Structures are given as C-alpha cells and as structure tokens.
C-alpha cells in the first residue's frame, strides 16, 4: 500500500505542479486587480454540480458529510472562544457570555446549513448563502422543521439565499462575522474569493475560514484514503492543486490592504497607500499576533471518531485540515 500511495501521490503532484504554481500566483495577483462581481466570479460550475448531486445527504450524519457533522462542534468551539477572547481583551471585566448573540453573520458556501443552524441557535442573525440551489433548498427545508429556526417564527435568526458571495458586494450591508468553512479548496480563484469575503466585513469584523493544506499528508488522507480506498467521500470531491497552505493564507492577509482598488464597492475612504495590512508581521515570520490572526489544526482521531482543536503552535497540526481567523482593521 505504501508503494501504491507513493506512486499515486507522485502522479498527482506531477500533473498538478503547474496548477499549484498558478494557484499560488493567484493569491498574490488578484489583490491588485479591480474587485467587482463581474470580474471576480470564483464559482466553479463543476464543483457546484458535484455538490448539488449530493445535497440530499447533507443531514445524514452517517453519510457523505459525516466528517463535517463531527467537525461542526469543533468549528463552533473555535469561533465562540475566539470572539470571547477578543471581547475580553477589549473589556477586561467581561467574564463570559455568548458573543454571537445579536451579531450579523454571513455563512458563505453554507451547503446544507450545518454551520448556519449552529450560528443561529447561538443568537447570531445568520444569512447562509450558496451557489447551489439544491443545497439552499435542503438547508431551508431542514430549518423549517424547527420552530425556532423557521422563517415563520416570531424572531427568525436564520435565512438563506441562493447566490455566490460576489453578488452581495453591490449591497450596502456588511457583517460582523463572515464564515466560510471547507469552501476555499473548491473555488476557482481563491484570491478573488478571499477579497470578496474580506470586503463583506464591517471594520473590526471577524473572518473565519477552514480548509485543507497542500501537503503529501493531506493528499494521502483526504484523497487517496478517504476517496480512493475507504470510499467515505465521493471520488472527485477534492482537487489537490486547489489546497491552500496556511503560509499562503497568512501571506495574503499580510499583503491585503484594508480596502481594495475599486472605490465603488469599498467601505472605507482611507487611501490605498495608507491602508494597513490585516496582519502586521513580516513575511517569513511564524509569529501571528493573537489579536490579528490565528491558525489552529483540526485533528481527526479515528479511534474515537472525533475531531479536536489542536493547541496553538502544536507541531505538525497544520499539515492537513486547519481553521484560520483574521480580523479586519478598525480604521
């Protein structure tokens, strides 16, 4: 099996090497381009068709999305703990509480609504969007079965919209929190997608992303093992060349200005030359200021069939699945 795995890995690495280079380059070049719904469409129609076919399985906890069902509590743990940490930094007298209550939250690529429902149950005013109409139909149907989440409830916290994120840029509304979980590795233009998510945040807002790193271990676990051997995930769900290394994500926000070059959709009057980067440390540094950004590994324990959040700076924890938080500068 080791030999087969090595040959399979080498074949994929060779065939996708040019794509990897283009992907990495894209994370840098799109920042300087004009960001608009017409020029930054990151939707991949093949990916949408793939997940649309699987939409009926979203709420089957033992089916296609079983790993995401198990991962969801850990994602929510990180979001709640990070928001509380920042709130306590700004208000040392604050002891506890759910920081999601009353916040405007956008869940980009919400799928069947696993994360959206959890956010809404915590009191967040949640909008889940997805480019797949089938996913939105399933998410809406599942939410409607719960009186607390149904649109007919007295104070609904959850709504869904069939739309890619780029279409929201022309609207004035911005969000306290933008989440996009297990989506980045499925888009065509990751830099444009990240720019869109960033633009949809209010100043001081929080961006949460989870994705997969581009490493041999990630290929072995998420494609060779999960798709080809165990068949727990449909073949073709993941494309290795689309995986994003944590260092690439961090560098994007080191270089990313507070606003982009399109004044028509920018929410800031700060000149581009004066806009501060979201992450202030220099390139090559492994240090992330905890009030600006954070990376944590998401580790799956097959013996317990559970995910857990790796400690900060745990060795090797970012080699496969990971979660990332970054905060938009206030001014």
pLDDT digits (tens, 9 = 90+) for 228-261: 998 888 999 999 999 999 999 999 999 997 544 3
Please give the backbone phi and psi of residue 317, each rounded to the nearest 5 degrees, phi first: -75, -15
Task: Provide the pLDDT for residue 150.
Answer: 84
Which one of 4-8, 52-56, 262-266, 317-321 scores highest in mean pLDDT?
317-321
Residue 305 CB neighbour total at 10 angstroms: 10
Q: Which residue has the higher pLDDT, 42 or 303?
A: 303
User: Does residue 264 register a pLDDT over 60?
Assistant: no
Which parts are annotated binding residues for Mg(2+)?
A: 182, 185-186
Residue 59 CB neighbour total at 10 angstroms: 17
Q: How confident is the model at residue 27 (pLDDT cuts 50, 70, 90)?
A: low
User: What number is the average pLDDT over the span 27-44?
Assistant: 49
How far apart, in whole angstroms, are the C-alpha atoms of residue 79 and residue 75?
6
Kindly calculate the radius of gyration of the chain based on its CA atoms and give it in whole angstroms.
Answer: 19
User: What number is the average pLDDT over the span 141-147?
Assistant: 93
User: What number is the average pLDDT over the span 300-308?
Assistant: 94
How far apart, in whole angstroms, are the C-alpha atoms of residue 288 and residue 230?
37
User: What number is the average pLDDT over the span 136-140?
Assistant: 95
**DSSP letter string, 19-85:** HHHHHHHHHHHGGGSPP-TTT-----HHHHHHHHHTGGGTT-TTSTTHHHHHHHHHHHHHHHHHHHH
Which parts are annotated binding residues?
A: 75, 109, 130, 181-182, 185-186
Q: Which residue has the higher pLDDT, 187 or 12?
A: 187
Query: 1: which 2 tokens?
Result: 């099996």
Instruction: Quote the mean pLDDT of the chain.
Output: 84
Do 112 and 61 meet the contact criterion of CB atoms below 8 Å apart?
no
Q: Compute the Cα dihedral for 254, 260, 261, 267 and give only its sign.
A: negative
Which parts are annotated binding residues for S-adenosyl-L-methionine?
A: 75, 109, 130, 181
Task: Provide the pLDDT for residue 325.
Answer: 98
Lowest mean pLDDT among 193-202, 208-217, 234-243, 270-279: 270-279
| Percent of the chain whose predicted confidence (pLDDT) is above 70 | 82
Q: Which residue has the higher pLDDT, 129 or 302?
A: 129
Task: Provide the pLDDT for residue 34.
Answer: 33
Calculate ∠ Cα 173-200-78, nearest 5°: 115
Lowest mean pLDDT among 46-60, 179-193, 194-208, 265-279: 265-279
User: Does residue 51 register a pLDDT over 60?
Assistant: yes
Task: Provide the pLDDT for residue 32.
Answer: 33
User: What number is the average pLDDT over the span 288-307?
Assistant: 96
Lowest mean pLDDT among 8-12, 83-87, 279-283: 8-12
Q: Which residue has the higher pLDDT, 265 or 91?
A: 91
The highest-level CATH class for domain 64-256+280-328 is: alpha beta
């Amino acid at each position: 099996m080791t030999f087969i795995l090595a040959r399979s890995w080498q074949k994929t690495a060779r065939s996708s090497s040019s794509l990897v280079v283009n992907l990495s380059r894209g994370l840098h070049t799109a920042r300087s381009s004009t960001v608009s719904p017409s020029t930054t469409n990151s939707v991949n129609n093949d990916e949408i068709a793939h997940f649309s076919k699987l939409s009926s399985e979203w709420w089957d906890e033992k089916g296609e999305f079983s790993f995401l069902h198990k991962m969801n509590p850990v994602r929510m743990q990180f979001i709640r703990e990070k928001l509380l940490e920042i709130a306590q930094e700004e208000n040392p007298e604050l002891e506890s509480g759910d920081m999601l209550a009353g916040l405007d939250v956008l869940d980009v690529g919400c799928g069947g609504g696993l994360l959206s429902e959890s956010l809404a149950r915590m009191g967040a005013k949640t909008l889940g969007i997805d480019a797949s109409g089938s996913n939105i139909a399933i998410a809406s149907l599942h939410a409607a079965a719960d009186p607390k989440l149904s649109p007919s409830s007295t104070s609904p916290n959850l709504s869904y919209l069939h739309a890619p994120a780029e279409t929201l840029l022309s609207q004035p509304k911005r969000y306290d929190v933008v989440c996009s979980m297990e989506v980045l590795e499925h888009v065509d233009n990751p830099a444009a997608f990240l720019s869109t998510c960033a633009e949809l945040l209010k100043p001081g807002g929080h961006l949460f992303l989870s994705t997969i790193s581009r490493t041999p271990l990630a290929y072995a676990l998420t494609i060779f093992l999960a798709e080809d051997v165990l068949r727990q995930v449909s073949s073709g769900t993941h494309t290795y060349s689309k995986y994003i290394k944590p260092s690439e994500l961090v560098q994007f926000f080191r270089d990313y200005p507070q606003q982009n070059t399109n004044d028509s959709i920018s929410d800031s009057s700060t000149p581009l030359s004066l806009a501060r980067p979201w992450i202030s440390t220099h390139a090559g540094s492994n240090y992330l200021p905890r009030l600006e950004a954070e990376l944590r590994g998401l580790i799956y324990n097959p013996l317990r069939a559970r995910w857990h959040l790796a400690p900060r700076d745990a060795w090797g924890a970012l080699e496969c699945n990971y979660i990332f938080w970054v905060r938009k500068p206030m001014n």
